[in-house]
């Protein structure tokens, strides 16, 4: 490693730093404040199951899931996500994840959350763990500061997550090939394959099988 370049530790959010899958937690929150129905929650469970099995049309689902945000001020989502995180998510933050972040920070590593979720969902977690950088799916915002109901491409999933992580690496001056990445999902294999230290955390069955085949470290948080 070049002495002039920092190391980086990249962390997935769902089922990694947070032991739960946060999309369904958010829809539970919306249901409880009267902004979503039980049907919406069941639909989210179905989508999450499809994603876990690798059967999800991510772009199609993102289009459907984000459409209701059209016309919503960005500030509204920021406030909602902070309230949601404190009430529904914070209790599920993994203690082992907190310790891993602390170790990397003490070692002087750049730490970043790299997630398929939006920065609005991930920012409260980053603030609690004192992680400065968040890479996630970006949402389009119009000139008034309102969401259009669409996501910017690429989504922060699969190869799109690699591209967004590469942009962060370029901006901060670290190399993905010298980094660590913690993830639970087989959909993150493209990024796991790029880093020096791929670590499978609470891996789904397909990622666990692959991690064992390739000798990647497996951790339970």
Give the pLDDT score at 69: 87
pLDDT digits (tens, 9 = 90+) for 25-72: 998 998 899 986 665 655 665 566 656 655 566 677 777 778 888 999
What DSSP state is assigned to residue 54? T
| Omega before residue 154 within 30° of 0, cis | yes
Q: For residue 18, what are the β-bridge partners? A: 14, 93
Give the pLDDT score at 66: 81
Give the pLDDT score at 64: 76
Burial of residue 12 (CB within 10 Å: 0-12, 13-18, 19+) is: buried
Q: What is residue 136's three-state secondary structure?
A: strand
Give the pLDDT score at 90: 98
Give the pLDDT score at 57: 66
Q: Residue 78's closest CA among 111, 42, 32, 124?
A: 124
pLDDT at 2 over 50: no
> Do 13 and 133 contact (CB within 8 A), yes or no?
no
Average pLDDT on 137-158 reads: 94
Which has more pLDDT, 6 or 52? 6
Rounded to the nearest 5°, which phi and psi values hold at 110? -70, 130
Domains of the chain by start residue, with CATH: 8-219 (3.40.50.1000)
């Amino acid at each position: 490693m070049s002495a002039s370049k920092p190391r980086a530790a990249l962390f997935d959010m769902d089922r990694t730093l947070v032991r739960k899958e946060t999309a369904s937690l958010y829809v539970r929150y919306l249901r409880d404040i009267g902004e979503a129905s039980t049907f919406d929650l069941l639909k989210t469970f179905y989508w999450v199951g499809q994603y876990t099995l690798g059967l999800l049309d991510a772009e199609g689902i993102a289009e459907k899931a984000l459409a209701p945000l059209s016309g919503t001020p960005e500030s509204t989502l920021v406030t909602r996500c902070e309230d949601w995180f404190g009430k529904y998510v914070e209790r599920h933050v993994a203690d082992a994840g907190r310790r891993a972040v602390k170790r990397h920070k003490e070692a002087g590593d750049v730490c970043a959350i790299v997630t398929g979720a939006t920065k609005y969902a991930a920012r409260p977690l980053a603030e609690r763990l004192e992680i400065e950088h968040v890479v996630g799916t970006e949402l389009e915002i119009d000139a008034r500061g309102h969401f259009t109901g669409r996501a910017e491409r690429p989504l922060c999933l699969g190869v799109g997550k690699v591209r967004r992580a590469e942009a962060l690496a370029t901006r901060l001056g670290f190399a993905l090939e010298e980094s660590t990445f913690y993830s639970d999902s087989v959909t993150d294999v493209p990024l796991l394959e790029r880093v020096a230290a791929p670590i499978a955390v609470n891996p789904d069955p397909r990622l666990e099988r692959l991690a064992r085949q390739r000798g990647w470290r497996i951790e339970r948080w």
